Amino acid sequence: MPKSRAGSTTKRSLGGACVTVRNDILLAGLIGRGIARSRTPEMHMAEAFAQGLRGVYRIVDVDTLPEEDQNLKAIVHAAETTGFNGLNVTYPFKMEVIPLLDELSPNAAAVGSVNTIVFRDGRRIGHNTDLWGFAESFRRNMDGAALDKVLLIGAGGAGVAVAHALADCGVAHLTIFDLDAARADQLARQVRDNRPGLTVGTTAALDETVTQGLTGIVNASPVGMAKTPGSPFPLGLLRPGIWVADIVYFPLETELLAGARKLGCRVLPGSGMAVFQAVRAFELFTGRPADPLRMKAAFDAFDQTPRETADA
């Protein structure tokens, strides 16, 4: 059971459930590997300060911990018993964390991936804010983009969320590619089961055949990150008229986006998804509405702050 903390509380409705929410504090953290340059803490702390909350947001970079402390179950337990509101979860723990939870939100259950844990009323509740985060970023920034045939690269935790988000946005035909073909097939089956009106297929190779009739590409793989540079899609196969989105946000201008921009393609960087998933997570942690513009400003200001290590 979480330790009690002094301070005011209130009952709020979140997703139809009445829960006890702290009014005056944000105590949260991010679990992952290679996340020293994550912008998530800045966004949450800036929003907490703007709303008059006391805030602490910790990065738990498993890569920097002694081997004996690299235990996901122990980390989650420690956060809960310390009195955290919740945790954000990133690569590679979005699926691994699920058995440690008491309950999944509808989004997390559909996606089978968790990026936000809320500790509330003695329970651990898993949410997926990546789905809404990508969908909201796409809706706000890619109005009118053709959704006839979209290629999704990456079928891991983030890719699963993006696949469902694309379905929410109205994609007609989704083709999934992953270096692990079995994982791509599994995601295709999952999306078909949950979205019966959507045509879903997989491809074993990224070649000219996959570009026929293609209207958009989304990279949901780690390729393009600072620690895994490169383009996940052959730049020579890009052509004007195909829009390109990337969920990577460090660097913001990935090799894929830079190549697409040179051709005049419409592009969507990973900053939008990063901001909107944080907006929804803040609301889940605190029970308060968050200001996307304020959190985007904190995200952008991160570039002005010197750092030494790379994000994942």
Write the burial class of residue 303 (CB in 10 Å: 0-12 exposed, 13-18 middle, 19+ buried). exposed
Known catalytic residue at 73: no
Phi and psi dihedrals of 267, rounded to 5? -130, 155
For 127-131, which contacts have Cβ atoms below 8 Å and span 24 or more sequence positions?
Answer: 127/280, 127/281, 127/284, 128/161, 129/276, 129/277, 129/278, 129/280, 129/281, 129/284, 130/157, 130/158, 130/161, 130/162, 130/165, 130/273, 130/277, 131/107, 131/161, 131/162, 131/164, 131/165, 131/168
**Torsion sign across C-alpha atoms 242, 237, 264, 310:** positive
Residue 222 vs residues 10, 138, 153, 196, 229: alpha-carbon distances, Å: 40, 19, 10, 29, 9
Token pair belonging to 125: 């509740």
- Which residues fall in the annotated binding site for NADP(+)? 154-158, 247, 270
Q: Which among 3, 11, 94, 296 is annotated as catalytic?
A: 94
**Residue list for the binding site for shikimate:** 38-40, 90, 115, 130, 249, 277
Annotated binding site: 38-40, 90, 115, 130, 154-158, 247, 249, 270, 277
Catalytic residues: 94
